[in-house]
Amino acid sequence: MRTRENSSSHALVMGGVLVTLLLATPGCEGPMDELEEAADPAPAAAVASPDAAAGGDTHSFARPMEARVTHMNIDWTVDFDRHILDGTIELDLQRMQAELAGELVLDSRDLDISMVEARMDDHWRETPWKYGDADEHLGRAVIVQLPAGSTQVRISYATSPEASGLQWLEPAQTAGGSHPFLYSQAQAIHARSFIPCQDSPAVRVTFKATLKVPAELTAVMAGVNADANKKETGVFHYEMPLAIPPYLIALAVGDLKFAEVGPRTGVWAEPALLSESAAEFADMEKMLNATEALYGPYRWLRYDILVLPPSFPFGGMENPMLTFATPTILAGDRSLVALVAHEMAHSWSGNLVTNATWSDFWLNEGFTTYIEKRIMEAVYGQERAEMEWVLGRQDLDKQITDLAETPADQVLHIDLSGRDPDDGMTQIAYEKGALFLRLLEETYGRDVFDNFLRDWFDDHAFASVTTSTFRDYLQTHLLDTATPAGAAGAPDVDVWLTRPGLPADAPAFTSQALTEVDEALASWIGGTTDTADLPVAGWNYQQWLHFVRGLPDSLEAGPMAELDSAFNLTGSGNNEILAAWMRQSIRHGYHGVDERLERFLASVGRRKFLEPLYKALMETPEGRVRAKAIYQDARPHYHAIATRTLDKVLAGD
């Protein structure tokens, strides 16, 4: 089924140039009938079962099958003194079932709502509303009485300083050190902490936004800057003309400057990091061209990256047109740009074709991890891609071991009901998902599989899809029509989608460059090779990471110190190598890293690095004392997403 597309023209400013564009806006049947799998795509055919009413999404109170938010007009004053966004939001509604839509149910968390109005006959009138019961994970429903015939609601509100989707930084937490900074992170269900909305990935909206910020700061949003001729000091206008799920709404405010990288690509960063960032990401345009060659046109107008302060809890976040990224990938040698490939890949898998519920998260991340590796191969060659596959497989094996007690969480189509979706987002979705796609590629041949994926994206563009939609599409568009290339036959798709662990037909692969590292490590451990004679000349980042990861548990502090004095691993400018090395140092009682470790934990907020480091510290009594002391000072600088995880680690759970 193809999503119906309506063309409309928009005038927008891109890279300082005013352009008029023909844009596709999705037809109303997209996400809804994907969820419903309805035979008749007409909206009125939607069935009002409780599940369908909830959009099939157990992480949202909203009932988009009754009335669906299609567009938002956002107006915010960004208050750095009080740490709040203060303003209004207008919601345009499409009534799906007139007789049922007596109320509009929205998601919220910690919002301070002062007034709700509905628009009738060209006038705004206050309308009754109430909060639903609070839920630990989901926040609170906002239930608005909807006068018959009204299709617009306006909410006046302010966010809480503790809004889970916003982080307010002091100047000292930025690169420049003299201006405050604000950024949002809405995935998975944090949009509701700064926008009352139908916070489900099955709902798609366009928006227009006005942001008022202190005169010396710049506001950016994932969207198009709509300030054609103006500039009224401290007022910024953005527009998202393509329909996106709320978890992709994003803003940041700080001392930000822009540098162009290619015709469609660029970097936003604090001035101190701008040229470094532009150099690190110099291959963006090449990556974009490579992805288009594989999976069809890039539909998001521009691809820019915003380099955030180091407290950002993730590596990257695929906010449309403006990926948010940690500065910890600025290695100086482009060695960590797989992250750029990953976030860019989401422009197809995730932002264009979106998981309809968080149980379908692997459709976002598994596809994206697979595409990321295809981009790396196209731009940097097969050897580099193969190394990254091997390192990814190591992550997966470790994740399966860590989840040994909870086999249900080793499944691609994961059950997350009653839980915070952030807790279900493991390497299973990423690496097991990617391996499954690699198996399909190997089974049916690259050309056939590439065409299949390209069609999948085209046929579901701007729609939200479930695992069962994919299962059916796979059956009819690949399994039933293509012939397996080898003797192994067709994969058992249902085992891949619904069973724990790794199926026996998982692709196996090796990397020659990493095998050489294994050999060097073995002969060093066996005493045949001296530290000074290790053949490290020309080793790349992946080889070093593999080497450090491979250091055996039995190693003592002495040989660790020898490695450090020979290769200065504690001084590594590559944060992946450094974090892996510091973890090994903690585990092996090597204290040469202590000072570097403390500086790292005090400044970096990326959860992927923090969690293993704190966990390693917590393994010994003296480590626990250190961990607690460091955490006490650092915790106020970490994002809530990181402290949620780390509080449990530090409590020894």
| Per-residue buried b or exposed e for 480-517, using 16+ beta carbons within 10 Å of the residue's own CB | eebeeeeeeeebebeebbeebebeebbbeeebebbeeb
The size of the interface with ligand BES (CB under 6 A), counted in residues, is: 15
Q: Which of 454, 477, 499, 608 binds ligand BES (CB under 6 A)?
A: 608
Given Zn ion, ligand BES, none, residue 314, with its beta carbon under 5 to 8 Å by kind, binds ligand BES
Joined tokens for residue 390: 């091997």
Note if 516 is an active site residue: no
- The least distance separating Zn ion from the CB of residue 639, rounded to whole angstroms, comes to 17
Given Zn ion, ligand BES, none, residue 187, with its beta carbon under 5 to 8 Å by kind, binds ligand BES
Footprint on residues 550-609 left by Zn ion (CB under 5 A):
none
Q: Which of 111, 118, 188, 224 binds ligand BES (CB under 6 A)?
A: 188
Q: Which residues 6+ apart lie within 8 Å of 601 measured at CB?
A: 610, 613, 614, 630, 631, 634
Q: Which of 25, 60, 167, 187 binds ligand BES (CB under 6 A)?
A: 187
Q: Which residue, 32 or 434, has its beta carbon nearer to ligand BES?
A: 434
Among 474, 412, 76, smallest CA distance to 237 is for 76
Pick the piece of the chain touching ligand BES (CB under 6 A) from 1-9, 216-224, 310-318, 539-547: 310-318
Residue 521 has phi, psi (to 5 degrees) of -65, -45
Q: Which residue, 109 or 432, has its beta carbon nearer to Zn ion?
A: 432
Kindly state whether residue 343 participates in binding ligand BES, applying the rule CB under 6 A: yes
The DSSP letter of residue 308 is P
Q: Which residue, 255 or 409, has its beta carbon nearer to ligand BES?
A: 409
SS3 of 541-603: HHHHHHHHHCCCCCCCHHHHHHHHHHHCHHHCCCHHHHHHHHHHHHHCCCHHHHHHHHHHHHH
Q: Which residue, 423 or 492, has its beta carbon nearer to ligand BES?
A: 423
Given Zn ion, ligand BES, none, residue 380, with its beta carbon under 5 to 8 Å by kind, binds none
Given Zn ion, ligand BES, none, residue 649, with its beta carbon under 5 to 8 Å by kind, binds none
- Strands 224-225 and 235-244, by their bridges, are antiparallel
Amino acid at 455: D
Q: Which residue, 67 or 429, has its beta carbon nearer to Zn ion?
A: 429
Q: Which of 169, 244, 425, 461 binds ligand BES (CB under 6 A)?
A: 425
| Per-residue buried b or exposed e for 529-559, using 16+ beta carbons within 10 Å of the residue's own CB | beeeebeeeebebbbbbbbbbbbeeebeeee
- The least distance separating Zn ion from the CB of residue 635, rounded to whole angstroms, comes to 26
- The least distance separating Zn ion from the CB of residue 318, rounded to whole angstroms, comes to 6
Kindly state whether residue 339 participates in binding ligand BES, applying the rule CB under 6 A: yes
Other CB atoms within 10 Å distance of the CB of residue 380: 19
- Return the residue matching tokens 């950002």: 312
Q: Which of 318, 377, 431, 441 binds ligand BES (CB under 6 A)?
A: 318
Q: Which of 140, 192, 342, 384 binds ligand BES (CB under 6 A)?
A: 342
Note if 343 is an active site residue: yes
- The least distance separating ligand BES from the CB of residue 329, rounded to whole angstroms, comes to 9
Footprint on residues 355-384 left by Zn ion (CB under 5 A):
365, 368
Kindly state whether residue 314 participates in binding ligand BES, applying the rule CB under 6 A: yes
Please identify which of the residues 66, 280, 343, 365 carries the catalytic annotation: 343
Q: Which residue, 3 or 187, has its beta carbon nearer to ligand BES?
A: 187
Kindly state whether residue 315 participates in binding ligand BES, applying the rule CB under 6 A: yes
Pick the piece of the chain touching ligand BES (CB under 6 A) from 110-118, 147-155, 338-346, 555-563: 338-346
Residue 174 has phi, psi (to 5 degrees) of -110, 170
CB of 254 closer than 8 Å to CB of 307 = no
Kindly state whether residue 387 participates in binding ligand BES, applying the rule CB under 6 A: no
Kindly state whether residue 317 participates in binding ligand BES, applying the rule CB under 6 A: yes
Pick the piece of the chain touching ligand BES (CB under 6 A) from 25-33, 65-73, 308-316, 470-478: 308-316
Q: Which residue, 140 or 438, has its beta carbon nearer to Zn ion?
A: 438
Where in 416-547 does DSSP place strands (E)? 463-465
Q: Which residues 6+ apart lie within 8 Å of 645 measured at CB?
A: 607, 610, 611
Kindly state whether residue 460 participates in binding ligand BES, applying the rule CB under 6 A: no
Among 184, 156, 314, smallest CA distance to 249 is for 184
Please identify which of the residues 183, 238, 370, 430 carries the catalytic annotation: 430
Q: How far apart, in whole angstroms, are the C-alpha atoms of residue 582 and residue 589?
A: 10
Q: How far apart, in whole angstroms, are the C-alpha atoms of residue 483 and residue 260?
A: 46
* Local structure of 414: helix, strand or coil: coil
State the Rg of the chain over Cα: 25
- The least distance separating Zn ion from the CB of residue 433, rounded to whole angstroms, comes to 10
Q: Which residues 6+ apart lie within 8 Å of 520 measured at CB?
A: 529, 534, 535, 536, 547
- The least distance separating ligand BES from the CB of residue 346, rounded to whole angstroms, comes to 6
Kindly state whether residue 380 participates in binding ligand BES, applying the rule CB under 6 A: no
Among 400, 309, 328, smallest CA distance to 577 is for 328
Kindly state whether residue 596 participates in binding ligand BES, applying the rule CB under 6 A: no
CB of 45 closer than 8 Å to CB of 37 = no
Q: Which of 55, 316, 327, 424 binds ligand BES (CB under 6 A)?
A: 316
Other CB atoms within 10 Å distance of the CB of residue 603: 15
- The least distance separating ligand BES from the CB of residue 140, rounded to whole angstroms, comes to 21
Catalytic residues: 343, 430
Residues of this chain that interact with Zn ion (CB under 5 A) are 365, 368
Residues of this chain that interact with ligand BES (CB under 6 A) are 187-188, 314-318, 339, 342-343, 346, 365, 422, 425, 608
